[in-house]
Chains A and B, each alone.
Chain A
Amino acid sequence: MATFNLKINGEQQMVDVDPSTPMLWVLRDHLKLVGTKYGCGIAQCGSCTIHLGGVAVRACMLTVSSVGNQEIRTIEGLSENGDHPVQKAWLEIDVPQCGYCQAGQIMSAAALLENNPNPSDNEIEMAMNGNICRCGTYTRIKKAIKTAAGSAS
């Protein structure tokens, strides 16, 4: 066990966990930030996508000891009132079905738009290909990303 000081969603958090613990379980079990989801544990499904220093990463394979001083953002901290352009677009297009993968989808989409405010269809597909949705909401996810891109520009 070791103590880690983490900066998550703009707040300083201290946890006492085994250094090998993935951020996914630190967030869920220890900080009760449960919006970040477990789907596969091997970075293949994208359900656990968070931002590390502004970059989309899979929290299930990011050990707490490798975070250091980099800032972490989770779905709970994407916006104060759920009004990030991507969240707004998701509601407008009514994207989710079961909803389980959607936090990961939104975090991937938000990171994409931060780096590329006006992505092409192909760029959207490439950026989102790491996020699985078994319900099959892909066409609406793409539409919502375009809507968010349009509203932000």
Chain B
Amino acid sequence: MNTISTKIGRRSFIKNTSLAGGGLILGFSWLNSCKPKEAQNMAVREMPSEWFEMNGYLKIGENNLVTIMSPNPEGGQNVKTSMPMIVAEELDVDWGNVIVEQAPLNTELYSRQFIGGSQAIRRGWNGLRMAGAAARQMLMEAAAQSWEVPLAEITTAAGMLYHKEGKRSASYGEMAATAAENEVPEDIALKSLDEFKIIGTSRKNVDGRSIVTGKPMFGVDTYTKGMLTAMIVHPPAFGMQLKSFDGEAIKSMQGIKDVFAVKVLDDDFTRQHFDTCTFLEVVAIVGSSTWEVMQAQKAISVQWEPFETYGEERQPYRGPQQSLTIPAGLENTETHRQMMSRMGSKQSTVVRRDGNPEGAFKSASKVIKRTYTAPFLAHNCMEPMNFFADVRDNKAELSGPLQKAELTEHTLSARLGIPLENIDINLTRLGGGYGRRSYAHWAVEAALISQKMQAPVKLVYSREDDMTGGIYRPMYQVTYKAALDKNNKLTAIHINAGGIPESPLYANRFPAGAVENYLAESWTINTNITIGSFRAPRSNFMASAEQSFLDEVAEAVNKDPIEFRLELLDQAKNNPVGERNDYDAERYAGVLKLVKEKSNWNNNESSLNQGVSAYFCHNSYAAQVVDMRWEKNQPIIDKVTCAIDCGIVVNPDAAANLCEGGIVDGIGNALFGELTFKDGVPEKSNFDKYRMIRMSEAPKEIDVHFVKNDSDPTGLGEPTFPPVFAALANAIYKATGKRYSHQPFLDNPLNT
């Protein structure tokens, strides 16, 4: 057993004096009237007459049912199942007796209630284990006291307490009342890995039943008594702002209650990292029902005007405060491409230099060079942005799909002029997030509309509002160069990377550390098109370029692509170049070896068109092999084999599902994803033009393998997404003889 001091995350164990019967969790009942009871596996079980709260994560009923709170929001990663599994493991209960509830935002009880950076399980791991283990220990102490036996003689199994002589036993439920009165132990014993009964076994999605029966669980499903529906009208182009509007003309339309302008953020407000706001002022239309408001939204006459260049203050997630300039102008994709091309051909800021790259290129017998580009991408969560707000009398009751609620809460407090303690936020299931719902300007808009109306309001975005509202994956470009000496040996790599408005470069990632002479340069181009995190930010582009380029270099040096990568990783492991190399070469090689074995690499009929790729991000290593055919100018993907090293796997089937999702999403964005601009106007606004991957284009089979190890869990939602772009490009090269270096791969004149 491991012992962990409870000092870490101590505030999560605040005793239940302030919670018993009337704390935030129980008191948070204002939405319960419109929410169905948690259905799932408990449908037929009798609810206990009393719950005993052991700590912020769990309560035990007298009939031995256990409620475990899932602290982080759920958006398809399946944390609402896997996080409670970790608590249940250490509590030592039967999973069948567990009810899972989504916790509301509660910064006193929980830390980092985020979706982002694939960190929920990694960062939650110790705290969740401690929550379960602390409660178990308190139950054991209660049993020892009431049976008057030494604590060391108490054991537990599946929600039961036993005395070693086997004469006495009691359920957790029977001891819960006494245990809840006990002090939280100073030191907590955690299970050793070989004692795990729940972690490492596959458990079904706790919300599966609610999903397949259409129960209300998403933000847009919120309906309360007297609730109004609101929509906004935002400028049609980046670079434009509100000039004037005619609200009176639509106020007479059926069901319309009010029309007014909303200033989303104050001009002098210092924005936190996720306060990106594309349109500082929008027009709000409020009415009785969605369709009525949609009609008014189509009918309203609004005048827009170009804005002047302006500045904003921003406090990034890390580092010092920044002053940003938002440039005036109506931008065009064609101009963006030309600007990137110019920037990429100049010398830029050197981020890392090893050895003598200039010398190596000068004396090279052969230089390989290729430029890769990728467009802006819209997140296109299937549930468009929406938020529910009831802001009245210096109090805000809010509910919706948020990725970073505890940061959004501060912005809401500042903008509404309502103290934090008067703001309650309920976290609804996210109909997809992928980064988009970290930037919750729509939550501020909803709250301001409700404050003005002094009534409960649900703000809903149409698909068009959502797709044309900004916060996109940035536009990127990178040029890779490789120097080969007269013995056809790789001697230098040069990377020149940049983007609009951020650079994708990770200078210390592979192949840095594996190449003697290495130069990485970075540049940026400013824009008024807003950007935001998009599933594996920057990695999602760098992996595609780097791993395609390594394939090309492997071919030039006449080596098998996997063997070539393994040789480089060997070099990085045994004789690393430089000191700051952000990866473990052995674990990196591990996923390549596993994917080679499982994909039947170079060893079957379809191996003719196999492409490989591997990448490290979000603390995990992923490698993929794509098997495909090329028919009618597009790929038919027969199979994707994936190997991933993410440490201990909590819920294996669900983890494989998440990997499958990353792979399909990656292939879709690689083949079709693109948002272009003409005079500041996004040229796609709905799924008729914005092509999303559909079933017939998805891989016919996906085979996921986990590297078995005892390391603490690491990221999973993002790591399988970036490498698949390149595995696909490399397979397409095998099939067509053409290097697809510009995204989207299909129907893109840049690839011909």
Q: Taking beta carbons and an 8 Å cutoff, which residues of A are in contact with B?
A: 1, 17-18, 20-22, 25, 28-30, 32-42, 44-45, 47, 74-76, 78, 82, 87, 90-91, 94, 96-103, 106, 121, 124-126, 128-142
A-B interface, 10 closest residue pairs, ranked by CB to CB distance from nearest = A35-B214, A136-B664, A100-B431, A98-B76, A75-B214, A97-B76, A44-B687, A99-B211, A138-B698, A136-B661
> Is the pair B208, A96 in contact by a Cβ cutoff of 8 Å?
yes
Distance of A19 Cα from B1 Cα, bound (Å)? 68
* Residue B695 CB within 8 A of the other chain: yes
CB of A135 within 8 A of CB of B665, answer yes
Question: Nearest A residue to B688 by beta-carbon distance?
Answer: A44
**Cβ of B663 and Cβ of A98 under 8 Å apart?**
no
* A1: B residues at CB distance < 8 A: 254
SS class of chain A's interface: helix, strand, loop or mixed? Answer: loop
B401 to chain A, nearest CB (A): 9
**Bound-state Cα–Cα, A103 to B660, Å:** 20
Contact (A138, B212) CB under 8 Å given A18-B291, A32-B223, A101-B382: no
Q: Is the CB of A42 within 8 A of B687?
A: yes
B695 CB contacts on chain A under 8 angstroms: 124-125, 128-129, 131, 138, 141-142
- Hey, which chain B residues are within 8 Å of A138, CB to CB? 664, 693-695, 698
B190 CB to closest chain A CB, in angstroms? Answer: 28
Q: Are B214 and A126 in touch, CB under 8 angstroms?
A: no
Nearest to A98 among chain B residues (CB) is: B76
| C-alpha spacing A21/B293, complex, angstroms | 11
Q: Which of B76, B692, B693, B695 has the most CB of A within 10 A?
A: B695
The contact string, 1 if C-beta is below 8 Å from chain A, for chain B 226-243, is: 000100000000000000
Known: A98-B429, A136-B693, A139-B701. A47 touches B205 (CB 8 A): no
* Stretch from B17-25, B605-613, B651-659, B726-734 at the A interface: B651-659
B215 touches A45 (CB 8 A): no
Q: Which of A42, A135, A140 contacts B688 (CB 8 A)?
A: A42
CA distance A141 to B696 in the complex (A): 12
How many residue pairs, one in A and one in B, have C-beta atoms under 8 Å apart? Answer: 190
A132 and B382 within 8 A (CB): yes
CA distance A80 to B663 in the complex (A): 35
Give complex CA distance A134, B215 in Å: 20
With a CB–CB cut-off of 8 A, which chain B residues contact A17? 289, 291
Q: A97-B661, A140-B657 are in contact. Are A35 and B215 (CB under 8 A)?
A: yes
CB closest residue in chain B, given A145: B695
- Partner among B212, B217, B700 whose Cβ is within 8 Å of the Cβ of A106: B212
CB distance from B637 to the nearest CB of A (A): 11
Return chain B residues, CB-CB under 8 Å to A96: 76, 205, 207-208, 211-212
Bound: A44/B382 CA distance, A: 12
A100 to B220, CA, bound (A): 10
Q: Looking at chain B, what size class is its interface with the partner chain? A: 35 or more
Q: Is B430's beta carbon under 8 Å from chain A?
A: yes
Query: Which residues in B have their C-beta under 8 angstroms from that of A137?
Result: 657, 660-661, 664
B77, B220, B657 — most chain A CB neighbours (10 Å): B657
Q: Which residues of A contact B295 (CB under 8 A)?
A: 20
Interface string of B681-709 (1 = CB under 8 A from A): 00000111000111110111110000000
Q: How far is the CA of A16 from the CA of B698 in the complex (A)?
A: 43
When distances are taken between beta carbons in the complex, the residues of chain B under 8 Å from A18 are: 254, 291-292
Q: Is the CB of A38 within 8 A of B289?
A: no
List 12 contacting pairs A-B, 8 Å CB cutoff, sorted by A. A37-B431, A40-B686, A41-B686, A87-B212, A94-B653, A97-B77, A97-B78, A98-B75, A98-B381, A125-B695, A129-B695, A134-B432
B72 in the interface (beta carbon within 8 A): no
Kindly report which residue of chain A lies nearest to residue B380, judged by CB atoms.
A134
Pair B383/A97 contact, Cβ less than 8 Å: no
A34 to B383, CA, bound (A): 13
Task: Report whether A98 and B431 are in contact in the complex, using a CB–CB cutoff of 8 Å.
Answer: yes
Contacts of B254 in A (CB 8 A): 1, 18
CA distance A126 to B460 in the complex (A): 31
Let me know if B61 is at the binding interface, CB within 8 A: no
Within the complex, what minimum Cβ distance (angstroms) separates B317 from chain A?
Answer: 24
B290 touches A40 (CB 8 A): no
Contact (Cβ within 8 A) B660 A139: yes
Q: Is B700 a contact partner of A121 (Cβ separation < 8 A)?
A: yes
Is the Cβ of B660 less than 8 Å from the Cβ of A134? no
| Contact B657 A94, beta carbon cutoff 8 Å | yes
B384 at the interface (CB under 8 A from A): yes
Residues of B within 8 A of A40 (CB): 463, 686-687
Chain B positions 502 through 524: 1 when the CB is less than 8 Å from some CB of chain A, otherwise 0: 00000000000000000000000
Most chain A beta-carbon neighbours within 10 Å: one of B204, B295, B654, B698: B698
Residues of A within 8 A of B430 (CB): 98
Contact in complex: A129, B694 (CB < 8 Å): yes
Nearest A-chain residue to B81, judged by Cβ? A94
Q: Contact between A100 and B383 (Cβ–Cβ < 8 Å)?
A: yes
CB atoms of A91 and B382 under 8 A apart: no
Contact B290 A28 (CB under 8 A): yes
Asked if B212 and A133 make an inter-chain contact with CB atoms under 8 angstroms apart, the answer reads no
Q: Mark B434-469, 1 if CB is under 8 A from A, else 0.
A: 100000000000000000000000001011000000
B-side contacts of A136, CB under 8 Å: 660-665, 668, 693, 698
A137 to B212, CA, bound (A): 14
Q: State the Cβ distance, B100 to closest chain A Cβ, in Å.
A: 15
Most buried by B among A21, A34, A40, A78: A40
Cβ contact within 8 Å between A39 and B657? no
**List of B residues within 8 angstroms of A133 by Cβ:** 382
Can you name 18 extra interface pairs (CB under 8 A) apart from A17-B291, A32-B223, A45-B692? Answer: A17-B289, A34-B220, A35-B216, A38-B384, A75-B214, A90-B208, A94-B205, A94-B208, A94-B653, A94-B654, A96-B207, A96-B212, A99-B217, A99-B431, A133-B382, A134-B381, A139-B660, A139-B702
CB-based contact A29/B229 at 8 Å: yes
- Cα distance A78–B209 in the bound complex, in angstroms: 13
Chain A residues contacting B432 (CB-CB under 8 Å) are 98, 100, 134-135
Interface positions of B from 294 to 347, Cβ below 8 Å from A: 294-295
> Once the chains are docked, how many angstroms separate the CA of A103 from the CA of B208?
11
Is B431's CB under 8 angstroms from A125's CB? no
- Quote the shortest CB–CB distance from A80 to chain B (angstroms): 10
CB atoms of A35 and B429 under 8 A apart = no
Q: Which of B74, B77, B382, B696 has the most CB of A within 10 A?
A: B382
CB contacts (< 8 Å) of B358 on chain A: these are none
